[in-house]
Structure 1
Amino acid sequence: MSRRIALSLTAGVVVLAGAGALAVAHAENQPPALAHSAARYTAPDGHRDGSFTFTTEVTASSGVKSLKVLAWPANSSLARKGPTAGEMAAAEPATCKPAGKDTVRCVYTTGVTGADAASSPHGPWRVAVLATAEDGTTTLDTRAAGFTVG
């Protein structure tokens, strides 16, 4: 094998190894991914309170630090763009438990009293979530799920 071919081959291996290392580093910095998001609203009935529950799975290679949840009326001032990441920082946290290698299953539940239901706008609602990974990357989904208050 000539010296020129050996040198070209070595340079090619170095380039491919560098590209592979870059791909691995890039994969580690991916923002959290949401899957299987669902919302359920149960109206109060008689003397029994109702509830609102949101569930989702979050995957992040560095681990999941938190998931914030905010339900908002679809006909509100947020309808055009949804809440911002800054507004979501003050939202309620979900409880997350391991569900796989890099995945957690998060659940947020709150009670809904008769007074809450009476003062809430009727019609479609949206659920916004802010997922934050351990490495600081975030994913904001302003329409992660929807439900109807009747």
Structure 2
Amino acid sequence: MPKEKKLKLIVENFLDNDGYHAVIALTDVYTGKPDFKDANDAKEKMRTWVGKNPKFYPHIASHDFEAWLLPYRTTIQKLAKHNLSAPSGSPETVNNQKPPSYWIKEIFRTGKCRRDYDKVSDGVAILKNNDLMIAIKACPELKAFVNRIISLCDEEKIIS
């Protein structure tokens, strides 16, 4: 994810030069580097980098995108051909010592599917036949992200 002046420049270019009405930024808390302490820290840093811009909306996947896949444990188990249980607790609070993506990689690595987890193709396969509302209800940051998109399009359809 672009940081500091680069993020500000990208946001300003979209809003000033490209005619967009809003910019929604989405990043993981766990980026592979210790950029952010938690979701609130990440949002604050992005707001600071961009400056006071009412058309900029930072959103975070805590700790990584795969947190939003954890509510679909049975689908993950079927794809990996393994019955490893999901981490306990809320999907978005899974520990940084073993982020959600690591948990999903482990179940694929040890499962009978005999292949590594692929973020893009397996992410699509996990979500394909599942109701997104399951993850939205389990993951407050995902709910906030989806509601931001909806609010910019039609405020009457915000998910409560």
Q: Provide the TM-score with structure 1 as the length reference.
A: 0.24
TM-score, structure 2 length as denominator?
Answer: 0.23
Q: Which has the higher strand share?
A: 1
Larger Rg: 1
Q: Which is richer in helix?
A: 2
